[in-house]
Amino acid sequence: MNNTLPLDGLPNTPLALHGLADSTRAAAEAFISAGTAANTVRSYQSALSYWSAWLQLRYRRSLGDGALPPDVAVQFIVDHLARPDGDGNWSQLLPPQLDAALVAAGVKGKLGALAFSTVSHRLAVLAKWHRLNAWDNPCEASAVKTLLREARKAQARQGVALRKKTAVVLEPLQAMLATCSDGVRGIRDRALLLLAWSGGGRRRSEVVGLQVEDLRRLDADTWLYALGVTKTDTGGVRREKPLQGPAAHALQGWLEAAPARSGPLFRRLYKGGRVGSAGLSGDQVARIVKRRAALAGLEGDWAAHSLRSGFVTEAGRQGVPLGEVMAMTEHRSVNTVMGYFQAGSLLGSRAANLMGNESVDTERAPDHTTTHTKPNH
């Protein structure tokens, strides 16, 4: 592999967008044939579009030309992750001409460095692309892993935290539900929020994929809904999950307000509260969560994933065994779910509340208290 190309004249050399489209279309088709969920494929396609554009500008090569060596992955990291330069400033190695060309091509939203999570995701997509093609994976090289690990540490030391969406635990969920009093829209949104949360922290792709035919009523307080292909289970075997109590009642209310024998469970609404036949999109689910949080006056960075992370966090908070939680969420990795679960369990931990509910006056000690000076050891 040659080193990166000189940049003279790059602003006058537009990207071959037709070639990029062909390359990423082929990559997306490979993921689809491998059984990847549709929502995930769209995410992968966006990442591969960026890889195609960056590779063309940096190396004048196409994504499908063959395996990439580790030094290309290293270059990608240093091009896109900001790092301190010693003068209190942050910079990246991606030349301004390339940055501007990527934005102009529409594969990059704005000038500047990418978030660590974005870089990590694009490296993960590149790794999967190589595995699908039975190529040596450049991201497995020790130089790449070490650089990524040290870059994360450097950003953490400088106070650049990995941003996570705000988790919808019980109290904000109740506040959101309290806003669902606006007719048919409120009935739908209440059912959606409670199914996605109480039903196991469903992903937005799973919510929009649910069909009326996937439902089965057991009694007045219990419904079952069936999941088919999901992000972590591509076998297509239907797995039933329970909805009980308020979630079951909210679902019953939506089915009565918008009766249907088949088709998408959660459908779009039009003026006058008319229920359409088209299902919601994943983006619309995210907008519902954000809208209800705004109506409730909640501060935070809310998204559809807030319901999933909030379910796990609240389960940990209430002491639900991790195995039961994972049976509902269908997380495959304990490491993935543990961060949220531990955060919730610590909220109720005695170790996190050693002072109890006592109010301590730190300005002065009681008269009978003797102050001791601890020796230095």
At 311-370, the pLDDT tens digits run 999 988 888 888 898 899 988 778 777 777 766 666 666 665 565 555 444 444 444 333
Rounded Cα distance between 103 and 173, Å, is 38
**Is the CA virtual torsion 282, 287, 293, 298 positive or negative?**
positive
Q: Which amino acid is at 13?
A: T
Residues (pLDDT < 50) of the chain are 1-2, 5-18, 234, 359-377
Check residue 159 and give its pLDDT. Answer: 56
Q: Where in the chain is the domain with CATH 1.10.443.10?
A: 170-351
Residue 130, both tokens: 């190589």
180, 186 Cβ separation under 8 angstroms: yes
Q: What topology is assigned to 10-157 in CATH?
A: DNA polymerase; domain 1 (1.10.150)
Rounded Cα distance between 19 and 25, Å, is 10
Q: Which helix (H) or strand (E) holds 183?
A: helix 183-198
DSSP letter for 147, please: H
60, 98 Cβ separation under 8 angstroms: no
Tell me how far CA of residue 20 lies from CA of 23, 97, 119, 225, in angstroms: 5, 19, 20, 41
Residue 244, both tokens: 């009980």
15, 56 Cβ separation under 8 angstroms: yes
Which residues contact residue 108 at a Cβ distance below 8 angstroms, ignoring those fewer than 6 apart? 50, 53, 99, 102
Check residue 214 and give its pLDDT. Answer: 94
> How many other CB atoms sit within 10 Å of the CB of residue 15?
18
Rounded Cα distance between 112 and 100, Å, is 9
Residue 94, phi-psi category: left (phi > 0), alpha (psi -120 to 50), beta (remainder): beta
Check residue 225 and give its pLDDT. Answer: 94
Rounded Cα distance between 26 and 146, Å, is 31
**Is the CA virtual torsion 292, 297, 302, 306 positive or negative?**
negative
Q: Where in the chain is the domain with CATH 1.10.150.130?
A: 10-157
Alpha carbon 241 to its chain centroid, in Å, reads 22
Check residue 21 and give its pLDDT. Answer: 52
Residue 88, both tokens: 């209190």
DSSP letter for 369, please: P
Which residues contact residue 126 at a Cβ distance below 8 angstroms, ignoring those fewer than 6 apart? 47, 51, 68, 73, 138, 139
Check residue 6 and give its pLDDT. Answer: 43
Burial 290-320 (b: 16+ CB within 10 A, else e): bebbebbebeeebbbbbbbbbbbbbbbbeeb
> CATH for 170-351?
1.10.443.10
Q: Which helix (H) or strand (E) holds 242?
A: strand 239-244
Q: Which amino acid is at 112?
A: G
> How many other CB atoms sit within 10 Å of the CB of residue 107?
21
Rounded Cα distance between 39 and 45, Å, is 10
Size (the chain), residues: 377
Taking alpha carbons only, the member of 184, 177, 121 closest to residue 148 is 121
